[in-house]
């Protein structure tokens, strides 16, 4: 559609007569531009801006995978494969974002990018293998953001995550490591003894 049109097309677009447009021009209510030859030209982008709005961009599907530590890289690859297979079977064009880090906090590059894209309105669907793969604590907040931004959330396996105990133990150990390092110093014998005791307890519980 042409943006600058003659008086007849402008009248049709606005649903008024040519006479009305001429009267508006005399009254100063709607003054058209003029060509070199003094012909009237009306800017439809100003008169009918909805006609020139870009079509809404299709929002993407993002599949998110996460594990807590480096020794779980094989599990991360399995998660990604499950997500890729699921999305492909649905016929979706999708993107996989993967994180390697604790589920106890938001300080992960992939999660931050995911949240940024959701808030920017670029995501229409979020797919995760388990609820706990998103965050161990705080997943409900992310789900609330998704709901506010009209993002569909699909959890493939709503049962218990088979690595819950292992991941939770690793997350707890990470928290204790941080706090004990602040209290006693990262290299102190007292700190190391505490961590060894906690690690043994964790391994025994698992």
Which residues are known catalytic residues? 68
CB atoms within 10 A of CB 168: 19
DSSP string, 36-75: TT--EEEEHHHH-GGGGPPPPPPPEEEEEEEESSGGGHHH
Do the beta carbons of residue 159 and residue 129 sit within 8 Å? Answer: no
159: left (phi over 0), alpha (psi -120 to 50) or beta: beta
Sheet of 123-128, strand order:
94-100, 60-67, 123-128, 152-155
Cα dihedral value 122, 128, 134, 136, nearest 10: 160
């Amino acid at each position: 559609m042409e943006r600058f049109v003659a008086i007849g097309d402008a009248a049709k677009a606005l649903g008024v007569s040519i006479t009305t447009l001429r009267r508006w021009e005399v009254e100063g209510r709607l003054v058209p531009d003029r060509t070199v030859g003094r012909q009237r030209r009306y800017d439809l982008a100003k008169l009918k801006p909805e006609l020139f709005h870009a079509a809404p961009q299709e929002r993407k599907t993002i599949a998110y995978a996460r594990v807590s530590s480096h020794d779980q890289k094989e599990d991360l690859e399995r998660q990604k494969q499950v997500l890729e297979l699921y999305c492909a079977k649905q016929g979706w064009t999708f993107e996989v974002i993967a994180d390697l880090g604790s589920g106890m906090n938001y300080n992960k590059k992939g999660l931050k990018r995911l949240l940024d894209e959701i808030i920017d309105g670029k995501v229409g669907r979020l797919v995760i293998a388990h609820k706990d793969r998103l965050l161990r604590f705080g997943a409900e907040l992310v789900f609330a953001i998704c709901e506010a931004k009209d993002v569909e959330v699909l959890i493939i396996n709503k049962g218990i995550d088979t690595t819950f105990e292992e991941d939770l133990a690793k997350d707890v150990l990470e928290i204790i490591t941080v706090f004990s390092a602040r209290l006693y110093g990262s290299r102190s014998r007292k700190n190391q003894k505490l961590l060894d005791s906690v690690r043994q307890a964790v391994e025994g519980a698992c």
